[in-house]
Amino acid sequence: MFVVVGLGNPGKEYTNTRHNIGFDTIDLLASRNNIKINKIKFKSVYGEGIIGNEKVLLVKPQTYMNNSGITVRDIYNFYKVPIENIIVVVDDIDIDFAAVRIKRKGSAGSHNGLKSIIYLLQKDDFPRVKIGIGKKHEAQDLANFVLSRFSKSEREIIEGSILLGAQSVEAIIKYGIDEAMNEFNTKGNRAQD
């Protein structure tokens, strides 16, 4: 069993913000794999389904970004799923805009959602799919930047990255993280379908 957690903030005012790219990716995964996000538990909304031959939970925590770890910890404790089967989809300001990177494990960097997960699990060896949301201007406040929306032209580009992120998650589940990293961590890789 795999648990895919897309990070974001609940509520209409956060829809389509840079920080909600994890939610956007979960929505696309749900639609691509005919999974309905219609259950409420673990301080989240989630759906159960199959990707490849694996049972999968697609999860959108409803705790707000800075407390995402509460949802992940509760699911981890309830299902006893191996840590390497918890895939976190997250926005990243430290990689190029629209880049998609799979990482096997690592620190939280400046991301409060990842900090919360690592703090509450006391582990950092869960895979993550990172999507580059751009870099803030020097004078810009980080919180204001991540809670801003993409411009129309940026949104068109980021839609391709969301697709690539969804495909990355599917590849991790179907073929394993090594094969997924080999395929998707290549420079210049573009979404294909």
Instruction: Catalogue the active-site residues.
Output: 19
Specify binding-site residues for tRNA.
Answer: 14, 64, 66, 112
Amino acid letter at 5?
V
Distance between CA atoms of residues 146 and 149, nearest Å = 8
**Under 8 Å between Cβ of 73 and 120:** yes
Specify binding-site residues.
Answer: 14, 64, 66, 112
- Residue whose token pair is 């895939």: 87
CA 147 to chain centre: 16
Q: What is the CA radius of gyration of the chain?
A: 15
What contacts 108, CB < 8 A, 6 or more positions away? 114, 115, 117, 118, 124
**Residue (of 131, 73, 67, 122) closest to 102 by Cα position:** 131
